[in-house]
Amino acid sequence: MLTLLELLQSNARLTGAELADRLDTDVRTVRRYTAHLRELGIPVEAERGRYGGYRLARGYRMPPLVLTNDEALAVVLGLLAAERLGMSTAAPASAGALAKIERVLPHALREPLADMRETLSFTANAVIGQAPGTGVLLALAQASRAHTTVGISHQSWRQEHTERDIDPYGVVFHTGRWYVVGHDHLRDSLRTFRIDRIASVTPRADSFTAPDGFDSVAHLTSTLTQGPYRWRVEVTIHGPLDEIARRLPRSAVTLTAQPTGVLMHARAERLDGMAHMLASLEWPFTIHQPDELRQALKDLAAQLTAAAQRGLEELPQ
Task: Please give the Cα distance from 276 to 248 (Å, whole number).
Answer: 12
What contacts 24+ positions apart, CB below 8 Å, involve 250-254? 250/221, 251/174, 251/175, 251/221, 251/224, 251/225, 252/225, 252/277, 253/225, 254/221, 254/222, 254/225
> What pLDDT does residue 245 have?
87
| Category of 261 on φ-ψ map: left (φ > 0), alpha (ψ -120 to 50) or beta | left
> What pLDDT does residue 124 have?
61
Mean pLDDT of 134-162: 90
Confidence band, pLDDT 50/70/90 cuts, at residue 286: very high
Note the pTM of the prediction, 2 decimals.
Answer: 0.55
Q: Which of 69, 66, 52, 42 is nearest to 12 (CA)?
A: 52
Are 4 and 41 in contact by the 8 Å Cβ rule? The answer is no
Residue type, 163: E
Task: Please give the Cα distance from 224 to 24 (Å, whole number).
Answer: 57
36-50, 67-81, 107-121, 229-243, range with greatest mean pLDDT: 229-243
For residue 97, the Cα-to-chain-centroid distance in whole angstroms is: 18
Whole-number Cα distances in Å, 286 to 237, 241, 277: 7, 15, 14
How do residues 218-272 score in pLDDT, each as one tens digit? 888 777 666 566 788 999 999 999 899 888 876 678 889 999 899 998 888 789 9
Report the chain's mean pLDDT, rounded to a whole number: 83
Residue 54's DSSP bridge partners are 14, 46
> What pLDDT does residue 298 have?
94
Confidence band, pLDDT 50/70/90 cuts, at residue 184: very high
pLDDT at residue 289 greater than cutoff 90: yes
Residue 45's DSSP bridge partners are 55
Q: Which of 130, 119, 106, 109 is nearest to 80 (CA)?
A: 119
Residue 163's DSSP bridge partners are 153
Q: Vertex 243, ends 238 and 246: CA angle to 5°?
A: 125
Q: DSSP strand E in the chain: where?
A: 44-47, 53-56, 148-155, 161-174, 177-184, 189-194, 198-207, 231-237, 253-258, 261-268, 285-289
Mean pLDDT of 182-188: 93
Q: Which of 212, 165, 157 is nearest to 191 (CA)?
A: 165
To 10 degrees, the CA torsion angle through 295, 301, 303, 304?
160
Task: Please give the Cα distance from 29 to 19 (Å, whole number).
Answer: 10
